[in-house]
A = this chain, B = another copy of it.
Amino acid sequence: MNSIQNPLRLGLLGAGVVASGVVKVLERNQAEIRRRAGRGIEVARVGARNLAKARAALGDGLAITDDLDAVVTDPKVDIVVELIGGTTRARELVLKAIASGKHVVTANKALLAVHGTEIFAAASDKGVMVAFEAAVAGGIPIIKALREGLTANRIQWIAGIINGTTNFILSEMRAKGLDFGTVLKEAQRLGYAEADPTFDIEGVDAAHKATIMSAIAFGIPMQFDKAYVEGITKLQAADINYAEQLGYRIKLLGVTKRRDDVAGGGIELRVHPTLVPAKRLIANVEGAMNAVVVNGDAVGSTLYYGKGAGSEPTASAVVADLVDVTRLHTADPDHRVPHLAFQPDALDNAPVLSIEDVVTSFYLRLRVADQTGVLARITGILAEHDISIDAVLQREAGDDETQTDLIILTHETREGRMNEALSKMQALPTVLAPIVRIRKEELN
Interface residues of A, Cβ cutoff 8 Å to B = 3, 21, 25, 28-29, 32-38, 133, 139-141, 144-145, 148-154, 219, 281, 284-285, 296-307, 312-313, 315-320, 323-324, 326-332, 334-338, 341-343, 346, 348
Contact = CB atoms under 8 A, between A and B. Distances in A.
Contact of A152 (B3, B154, B316): B316
Contacts of A21: 298
A381 B300 CA distance: 51
How many copies of this protein are present in the complex? 2
Contacts of A151: 33, 36-37, 319-320, 323-324
A277 to B, nearest CB: 13
A348 to B, nearest CB: 8
A219, A305, A337: most-surrounded residue (chain B CB, <10 A): A305
A29 B153 contact: yes
Contact of A302 (B304, B312, B319): B304
Contact of A29 (B149, B154, B329, B335): B154
Contact of A149 (B33, B133, B305, B343): B133
B152 A148 contact: no
Contacts of A281: 281, 284-285, 305
A217 to B, nearest CB: 11
B343 A38 contact: yes
Nearest to A303: B305
Given A302-B304, A306-B303, A38 B284 contact: no
A299 B313 contact: yes
Contact of A327 (B28, B154, B313, B336): B336
Contacts of A28: 154, 297
A297 B35 contact: no
8 contacts: A139-B299, A141-B149, A148-B324, A150-B316, A152-B316, A299-B312, A327-B335, A331-B331
